[in-house]
Amino acid sequence: MKLRSLIILLFFSLFTYSCNGKLPGADARKVPYDPKERVKKNLEEGKGFRLDNAFGGNGKAGNFEFASSNPLWRASLDTIDFMPLQSANYSGGLLITDWYSDNQNSKESIKITIRFLTNEVRSDALDIKIFYKKCENLNTCIVSEQGGNLRAELTKEILKKAAIYKEQIADKSFKPYNATGSMDNRTE
């Protein structure tokens, strides 16, 4: 019973508070007639939002960067394509190979982990770790992380391929701006 009377009292107080005869923004002299001008004024005053900005900004419907369009990701996969992958997590920015050994020495194997620190093609974009495993027999193995020459060579090769892929993507997506709003169709 008390809850019911409390709800009625709350509803009545809200109703009477909102019926003071003055609606916000109801003065026609202060509101532009043109809808585009009203939208512009509201956005400038922070009273509205745009859906194209709410889902990724840039005036686009969203920001979809897939693995095939990321030059670093593609270059890394192409560089280590001879090794079996244990994990490839694009959204987490991590590539992990399985243990790999060539046919010459089955007691030694190598594992590579590539972490992507940024999508930009630059020298500090990758964190590469190389692990070596040496086994005396099946149960006694020593795993150690080593850097050095192989790590530098992998980084160099990945960045070189990524730069080529980035240039190819830029050439494909280049569309010169025309003042009339149409785009120049290029022949390839």
Q: What is the pLDDT along the chain (188 residues), one digit of tens a residue?
A: 778 887 887 776 666 655 555 555 556 677 777 777 777 776 666 565 555 555 554 544 444 455 566 889 999 999 999 999 999 888 888 999 999 988 777 789 999 999 998 888 888 889 999 999 999 887 889 999 987 899 999 999 999 999 998 888 777 766 665 555 444 554 44
Residue 10: CB atoms within 10 Å = 10
Work out the number of other CB atoms within 10 angstroms of the CB of residue 161: 19
Name, in order, each residue with C-beta under 8 angstroms of 17's C-beta and a sequence gap of 6 or more: none
Q: Does domain 67-173 bear CATH number 1.10.10? A: no
Task: Report domain extents, the chain.
Answer: 27-64, 67-173
Task: Report the DSSP beta bridge partners of residue 110.
Answer: 100, 132
Quote the tokens at residue 69: 């369009």
> Which residue in this structure is represented by tokens 């409390």?
6
